[in-house]
Chain A
Amino acid sequence: MEAALLYLATMLTLAGVYACLALGLNLQWGLTGLMNFGGLGFLAVGAYTAALLTAPESAQQSAAHGGGFGWPWWVAWPLAALAGALLALPVGAAALRLRADYLAIATIGIGEILRLVVRNEDWLTGGPLGVPGIPRPLESLGEPAGQFAFLALVLLVAAGLYAMAEATARSPFGRTLRAIREDEEAAKAVGKNPGAFRLAAFVLGAGCMGLAGAMLAGFFKFMGPDALDPVTATFLVWVMLIAGGSGNNRGAILGAVAVWAIWAASDFLAAQLPGEAATRAAYVRLFLIGLALQLILLHRPQGLLGERPGR
Chain B
Amino acid sequence: MIEFVTFYLIPGLVLGSIYALAAAGVSLVYGVMRFAHFAHGDLMTWGAYAALVAVGVLGVSPWLAIPVAVLATIPVALAADRAFYAPLRRSAPAVLLISSFGVALMIRALVYLIWGPTPESYARGFTPPLFLGEIRIQQRHLFILGGALAAALAVHLLLSHSRAGRAMRAMADDPDLARVTGVPVAGVIRLTWAVSAGLAAIAGVFLAIDTELTPLLGFNVLLAAFAAAILGGIGRPWGAALGGLILGLAEELSSYPWIGTAPLLDPSYKTAVAFAVLILVLIFRPQGLFKGMG
Q: Which of A105, A283, A284, A286 has the most CB of B within 10 A?
A: A105
Q: Does A5 touch B at the CB level, under 8 Å?
A: no
Per the 8 Å Cβ criterion, residues 91-110 of A in contact with B are 91, 94-95, 97-102, 104-106, 108-110
Q: Does A298 touch B at the CB level, under 8 Å?
A: yes
Q: Does A301 touch B at the CB level, under 8 Å?
A: yes
- A112-120, A134-142, A150-158: which lies at the B interface? A112-120
The residues of B that contact A95 with a CB separation of less than 8 Å are 279, 282
Give B69 Cβ to nearest chain A Cβ, in Å.
Answer: 21
Give B289 Cβ to nearest chain A Cβ, in Å.
Answer: 16
With beta carbons under 8 angstroms apart, the residue of A113, A235, A294 that contacts B84 is: A294
- B106-114, B151-159, B242-250: which lies at the A interface? B106-114
- In contact, B103 and A294 (Cβ under 8 angstroms): yes
Beta-carbon nearest neighbor of A231 in chain B: B105
- In contact, B87 and A113 (Cβ under 8 angstroms): no
The residues of A that contact B94 with a CB separation of less than 8 Å are 33, 35, 100-101, 104
Main DSSP-derived SS at the A contact region: helix
Q: Please, how many angstroms separate the alpha-carbon atoms of A242 and B91 in the complex? A: 15
Give B243 Cβ to nearest chain A Cβ, in Å.
Answer: 13
The residues of B that contact A120 with a CB separation of less than 8 Å are 266, 268-269
With beta carbons under 8 angstroms apart, the residue of A105, A242, A297 that contacts B227 is: A105
The residues of A that contact B274 with a CB separation of less than 8 Å are 109
With A105-B227, A116-B269, A297-B88 given, is the CB distance from A290 to B222 under 8 Å? no
Q: Please, how many angstroms separate the alpha-carbon atoms of A283 and B115 in the complex? A: 11
Beta-carbon nearest neighbor of A239 in chain B: B102
With beta carbons under 8 angstroms apart, the residue of A100, A105, A286, A297 that contacts B278 is: A105
Q: Please, how many angstroms separate the alpha-carbon atoms of A104 and B87 in the complex? A: 22
The residues of A that contact B83 with a CB separation of less than 8 Å are 294
Interface size class of A (residues with CB under 8 A): 35 or more
Q: Does B230 touch A at the CB level, under 8 Å?
A: yes
Per the 8 Å Cβ criterion, residues 211-242 of B in contact with A are 220, 222-223, 226-227, 230
- In contact, A297 and B102 (Cβ under 8 angstroms): yes
- In contact, B279 and A101 (Cβ under 8 angstroms): no
The residues of B that contact A97 with a CB separation of less than 8 Å are 282, 286
Give A229 Cβ to nearest chain B Cβ, in Å.
Answer: 12
Report the count of interface residues on B (CB-CB < 8 A).
Answer: 44
Q: Which of B95, B98, B222 has the most CB of A within 10 A?
A: B98
Q: Does A261 touch B at the CB level, under 8 Å?
A: no
- In contact, B87 and A242 (Cβ under 8 angstroms): no
Q: Please, how many angstroms separate the alpha-carbon atoms of A301 and B272 in the complex? A: 35
- In contact, A283 and B105 (Cβ under 8 angstroms): no
Q: Please, how many angstroms separate the alpha-carbon atoms of A22 and B276 in the complex? A: 28
Per the 8 Å Cβ criterion, residues 241-297 of A in contact with B are 242, 280, 283-284, 286-287, 289-291, 293-294, 297
Q: Does A238 touch B at the CB level, under 8 Å?
A: yes
Q: Does B36 touch A at the CB level, under 8 Å?
A: yes
Q: Does B137 touch A at the CB level, under 8 Å?
A: no
- In contact, A297 and B98 (Cβ under 8 angstroms): yes
The residues of B that contact A231 with a CB separation of less than 8 Å are 105
Sample of 12 further A-B pairs with CB below 8 A, known A293-B105, A297-B98: A35-B97, A97-B286, A101-B35, A101-B93, A105-B223, A116-B269, A235-B105, A238-B101, A287-B109, A287-B113, A289-B105, A294-B84
Binding site for A on B (CB under 8 A): 35-36, 38, 83-84, 87-88, 91, 93-95, 97-99, 101-106, 108-110, 112-113, 220, 222-223, 226-227, 230, 266, 268-269, 271-272, 274-275, 278-279, 282-283, 286, 294
